Amino acid sequence: QTIVRLADYRPSDYLIDRVDLDVRLHPTETRVTATLALRPNPAGAPGAPLILDGDELTLLAIALDGQPTGPGAIEVTPRALTLHQPPQRPFVLEIETQVNPSANTKLMGLYRSNGVYCTQCEADGFRRITYFLDRPDVMAVYTTRIEGNREAAPVLLGNGNLVERGEAGPERHYAVWHDPHPKPAYLFALVGGRLGRVGSRFTTMEGRDVEIAVYVEPGKEGRADFALDAVARSMAWDERTFGRAYDLDVFNVVAVSDFNMGAMENKGLNIFNDKYVLASPDTATDADYANIEAIIAHEYFHNWSGNRVTCRDWFQLCLKEGLTVFRDQEFSSDERSRPVHRIAEVRTLRARQFPEDAGPLAHPVRPQAYREINNFYTATVYEKGAEIVRMLRTLLGPETFRGGMDRYFATCDGKAATVEDFLAAFAAESGRDLTAFSRWYEQAGTPTVAVSGTYDPAAQTYTLAFRQSLPVVATEAAAGAAPRPLVIPVALGLVAPEGGSVEAVSERVRDGVFVLETAEESLVFANVAAAPVPSLFRGFSAPVKVEHALTRDERLTLLAHDGDAFNRWQAAQSLAMEVLVDRAKAGAPLKPETGPAGAGLTRALATFLDDEALADPAFASLVLTLPGEQEVAQTIGAEVDPDAIWRARQSLRMQLGRDLGPRLLALRDALAEPPGAPFSPDAASAGRRALRNAALDLVTAADPEAGTALALAQLDAATTMTDRLAALATLSLVPGEAREEALARFGEAYRHEPLVLDKWFALQAMIPEAGTLARVRGLMNHPAFSLGNPNRVRSLVASFSLNNPTQFHRPDGAGYDLTAEVVLALDGKNPQVAARLLTAFNTWRMVESERRLRAEAALRRVADAPGLSPDVSDIAGRSLA
Ligand code: B3K
Ligand code: ZN
């Protein structure tokens, strides 16, 4: 397996200006005729052979400028078609290939999902449709003629605008689509199938009348309205917020049920995992609605950040992904609650990206080398990439940031750009040197910032001393190079011990932000009348771990009085974390404890609930949610015992449920929906449901019997999937007949709803009990389960391996074995999904030694298996390195 390095980038020797595709859809013998208008690239090597990428293609015919190629002129290998002496002037290659969409279980290239023909080309799937220069810096104008059976594929969709359609014989018809915007091959898409449609129109700020449509499985049109509306809201938001308008006459979204990831931003034809399109109150939870809105927005926003400005090479992936995640996060914050959304973002970052950055798969936001690019669609590239963009805005201020974005779009429109191009736009706009800032893209690992505060009553000064340290991460390209200090924006404020903010000044603080640029720095505030409590990294202003010596009382002050909602939540989290880490390290048996730490936290939460829960239930539900098991494991860092963490967390939940019980029950009543109230997925309604269900969860932890009764009643009365699933989740944690019956009834009721069964699979896979392993094995034989469908694998197996720490890390190693077994069984079918599942082993070095040995053995078994895909062998190799 060859390694690709950023340092080796060279422009393509040839360019392709126009692509005419003629695709004749057939279940097993689809024929593709590609007419490519090529020319030598002035920036390439003159006279070089033309090497077109290909993968699992059957070559039927090839012609150069209308003539058959002479003997020896071309050479075909499994992964390439080489033209040895291409003309050194513009020329046309016509290539006819055949592919088998029904046999395509990798779900890359052209495949069939439930009978629907669809494509996935990012990162390198276009080469599975035709021979091509399959790299993002080769951009062409595409015209696609799609022909298919009228019965089986009445709907034929392509990129761009529809220019022609008609009959093609007795049973067949065709459609011609033209996309005027030059694009890389990874943005190509087509769809052919029997699909239902909902549509609307949107007039852009430039006066363009756009037809928007969402295509779904026939009969499910009613579940597509929310996604359709989210498209229009995304279009309006991007105009308002970034001045970006849509640039084609149609915007189509198609939902398919077999999809390797969430969705794909193909130009004018976004293809989605149906999980992120279909929603109805009866089948989708509030979290589903929020995800749908966010992913619709994300893919739509790519139209500018990704499509109009694309990436020069795959090392620049964060250029489109980090930026677009930042944009979708801003959208959700504007459409919903900003502080609540920020907390959700940080929870994801800490649960997914921090472990990645601390484990064997750590890599810089812009990697310097890869073996399999599909393994780099990671939390680091996406989520940490978004944090870098957010820091840039914090450093430059919102106006300059917006100016920089405008400049980036203006200078890079129609180009395949780099991270350097992106930063250059902001440097030019702000007049600042962003060289040191750019290290965020190059250095892997989560920085730690240690802060200590000293008050000098005589001088009336308050000093904050900062020290940043970066882990040394050995990556493929930079083996253990010493990390250099990062530019870290610290949004901060000082809080008076009795509440209220301290108006202290320091010339190093501008608009509430101090910029830490060196390894160690001190910040002095003058005229401080009494010792304040520092509120640091407000809004989580940098993706770092903070070590500061705040006392418990100081944190309680922040929880009660900080003007920054994020840091109020953070104060509660850090109080809880301290208790959890202490208890986990002590390995205490399971009982609700009444230590002073626990009691202090409970009292503070009681006051908080009394004063504020009804005013902002969504925020309150987050304050009540303890740090997750993975986060506790990260904080402990080494020799982790997942069972001890679970017990610690469970004991604190029991304690909170017991001490806050009456309040929590009162809140449930106060927040009950009036009977017959219409459903709304909006953030406020969702927040009320979230707090009611968080209360149910804690009450049940303390009193399983009473909780079971409440949950059963809720299950019966529920009018939303959110409430029904929350009740079932609560029941799933209480062993016994009630649970088994409720699970059986739910499974029966939704047996024809795969997306709902996914939730049912996931719940059962996450039960923290030894019986879960057998349960998961059993469910793998359920008629609705299939290794061929990525959603099923993710909901059942990945939920077990990635979201059930005690059972994945079973002391006997059986959780590791199951995961390894499924990875190997899946690898031959769908390497991308198999590789993703294998990342569950990311934390294997952190667990205590007996588990570690078993995890390593399972990983080795995978690594040593014959005939591994590049995807799985890359993850296995790096995990063991
Ligand atoms: N760009 C796609 C991800 C493609 C993943 C390829 N393995 C979806 C997105 O981030 O919008
Ligand atoms: Zn994306």
pLDDT in tens, 792-849: 999 999 999 999 999 999 999 999 999 999 999 999 999 999 999 999 999 999 999 9
Ligand 2 centroid to Cα of residue 802, in Å, is 22
Q: What are the b/e assignments for 50-63, b being 16+ CB within 10 Å?
A: bbbbbbbbeeeebe
Predicted confidence (pLDDT) at residue 477 exceeds the cutoff of 60:
no
d(CA 659, CA 606): 8
Looking at residue 117, its pLDDT comes to: 99
- In Å, how far from its chain's centre is CA 687? 22
Taking residues 583-611, report their average pLDDT: 85
Looking at residue 595, its pLDDT comes to: 64
Sheet holding 209-216, edge to edge: 196-203, 209-216, 250-256, 269-273, 263-264
Confidence of residue 675 (pLDDT cuts 50, 70, 90): confident
ipTM of the complex: 0.99
**pLDDT digit string, tens, across residues 334-376:** 999 999 999 999 999 999 999 999 999 999 999 999 999 999 9
Predicted confidence (pLDDT) at residue 114 exceeds the cutoff of 60:
yes
Ligand 2 centroid to Cα of residue 301, in Å, is 9
Looking at residue 312, its pLDDT comes to: 99
Does residue 128 contact residue 99 with C-beta atoms inside 8 Å?
yes
Closest residue by Cα to residue 823 from 875, 770, 767: 875
106-111's contacts with Cβ under 8 Å and 24+ in sequence apart are 106/829, 106/830, 106/831, 106/832, 107/258, 107/259, 107/260, 107/790, 107/830, 107/832, 108/260, 108/832, 109/55, 109/56, 110/23, 110/30, 110/190, 111/258
**Residue in 122, 265, 293, 299 annotated catalytic:** 299
Predicted confidence (pLDDT) at residue 292 exceeds the cutoff of 80:
yes
* Ligand 1 lining (C-beta closer than 6 Å): 122-123, 261, 263-265, 298-299, 302, 321, 374, 377
Taking residues 297-301, report their average pLDDT: 99
**pLDDT digit string, tens, across residues 520-563:** 999 999 999 999 999 999 999 999 999 988 999 999 999 999 99
**pLDDT digit string, tens, across residues 196-224:** 999 999 999 999 999 999 999 999 999 99
DSSP state of 92: E
Confidence of residue 26 (pLDDT cuts 50, 70, 90): very high
From the CA of 299, give the closest atom in ligand 1.
11
Closest residue by Cα to residue 216 from 194, 235, 201, 232: 194
Confidence of residue 475 (pLDDT cuts 50, 70, 90): low
Looking at residue 226, its pLDDT comes to: 98
Sheet holding 155-158, edge to edge: 109-113, 116-120, 190-193, 155-158
Q: Answer positive or negative: Cα dihedral of 587, 592, 598, 604.
A: positive
Does residue 622 contact residue 605 with C-beta atoms inside 8 Å?
no
Of 272, 377, 381, the residue with max ligand 1 atoms within 8 A of its CB, to mutate for a pocket test, comes to 377
The residue whose C-alpha atom lies closest to atom 5 belonging to ligand 1 is 122
Ligand nearest to the CA of 123: 1
d(CA 33, CA 174): 14
Looking at residue 666, its pLDDT comes to: 98
From the CA of 260, give the closest atom in ligand 1.
7
Ligand 1 centroid to Cα of residue 262, in Å, is 7
**pTM over cut 0.95:** yes
d(CA 871, CA 361): 13
Q: Which two tokens stand for residue 400?
A: 């300059």
User: How do 488-491 and 513-516 pair as beta strands?
Assistant: antiparallel
What are the chain's domains?
Answer: 4-301 (2.60.40.1730), 310-442 (1.10.390.10), 448-549 (2.60.40.1840), 750-881 (1.25.50.10)
Ligand nearest to the CA of 325: 2
Ligand nearest to the CA of 321: 2
How many other CB atoms are found less than 10 A from the CB of residue 719? 15
Query: Before 123, cis peptide (omega within 30)?
Result: yes
- In Å, how far from its chain's centre is CA 227? 18
Angle of helix 849-864 relative to helix 870-880, nearest 10 degrees? 150
DSSP lists the bridge partners of residue 533 as 495
Does residue 39 contact residue 65 with C-beta atoms inside 8 Å?
no
Looking at residue 510, its pLDDT comes to: 95
**pLDDT digit string, tens, across residues 722-763:** 999 999 999 999 999 999 999 999 999 999 999 999 999 999
**Residue 577, SS3 per DSSP:** helix
The residue whose C-alpha atom lies closest to atom 2 belonging to ligand 1 is 264
From the CA of 262, give the closest atom in ligand 1.
8
Looking at residue 506, its pLDDT comes to: 92
**What Cα–Cα distance (Å) separates residue 275 from each residue in 121, 269, 272, 324?**
20, 17, 8, 20
Taking residues 324-343, report their average pLDDT: 98
The DSSP element (H or E) to which 490 belongs, if any, is: strand 488-491
Q: Return the residue matching tokens 């504007």.
A: 334
d(CA 667, CA 657): 13
Ligand 1 centroid to Cα of residue 626, in Å, is 31
Backbone angles phi, psi at 800, to 5 degrees: -65, -50
Taking residues 634-659, report their average pLDDT: 97
Q: Which residues surround ligand 2, an ion (CB under 5 A)?
A: 321, 324
From the CA of 263, give the closest atom in ligand 1.
8
From the CA of 265, give the closest atom in ligand 1.
11
Looking at residue 598, its pLDDT comes to: 72
Looking at residue 428, its pLDDT comes to: 99
Closest residue by Cα to residue 188 from 96, 97, 265: 265
**Residue 862, SS3 per DSSP:** helix
**Residue 194, SS3 per DSSP:** coil
299 belongs to the catalytic site = yes
Closest residue by Cα to residue 336 from 685, 722, 690, 725: 685
Q: Return the residue matching tokens 């009494």.
A: 530
d(CA 37, CA 182): 13
Q: Which two tokens stand for residue 108?
A: 């890359």
Ligand 1 centroid to Cα of residue 539, in Å, is 28
Ligand 2 centroid to Cα of residue 189, in Å, is 16
Taking residues 441-460, report their average pLDDT: 97
From the CA of 373, give the closest atom in ligand 1.
7
**Residue 109, SS3 per DSSP:** strand
Looking at residue 12, its pLDDT comes to: 98
Taking residues 172-195, report their average pLDDT: 99
Q: Which two tokens stand for residue 543?
A: 């993706």
Of 126, 275, 321, the residue with max ligand 1 atoms within 8 A of its CB, to mutate for a pocket test, comes to 321
Of 106, 188, 265, the residue with max ligand 1 atoms within 8 A of its CB, to mutate for a pocket test, comes to 265
d(CA 668, CA 624): 14
Cα 69-74-76 angle, rounded to 5 deg: 130
Q: What are the b/e assignments for 243-275, b being 16+ CB within 10 Å?
A: ebbbbbebbbbbbbbbbbbebbbbbbbbbbbbb
Ligand nearest to the CA of 125: 1
Looking at residue 590, its pLDDT comes to: 85
Ligand 2 centroid to Cα of residue 573, in Å, is 30
**Rg of the chain over CA atoms, in angstroms?**
28
Ligand nearest to the CA of 305: 2
Predicted confidence (pLDDT) at residue 613 exceeds the cutoff of 60:
yes
The residue whose C-alpha atom lies closest to atom 8 belonging to ligand 1 is 264
Predicted confidence (pLDDT) at residue 479 exceeds the cutoff of 60:
no
Lowest average pLDDT, out of 279-283, 313-317, 475-479, goes to: 475-479
Of 264, 319, 370, the residue with max ligand 1 atoms within 8 A of its CB, to mutate for a pocket test, comes to 264
User: How do 74-77 and 67-68 pair as beta strands?
Assistant: unpaired
The residue whose C-alpha atom lies closest to atom 7 belonging to ligand 1 is 374
d(CA 435, CA 474): 22
Ligand 1 centroid to Cα of residue 121, in Å, is 9
Backbone angles phi, psi at 358, to 5 degrees: -100, -5
Looking at residue 505, its pLDDT comes to: 86
Q: Return the residue matching tokens 């940490």.
A: 384
Average pLDDT of the chain is 97
Q: Which residues make Cβ contacts (< 8 Å) with residue 267, sequence separation at least 6?
A: 159, 160, 179, 181, 183, 187, 188, 189, 248, 303, 307
Looking at residue 594, its pLDDT comes to: 64
DSSP characters over 616-646: -HHHHHHHHSPPPHHHHHHHH-SSB-HHHHH
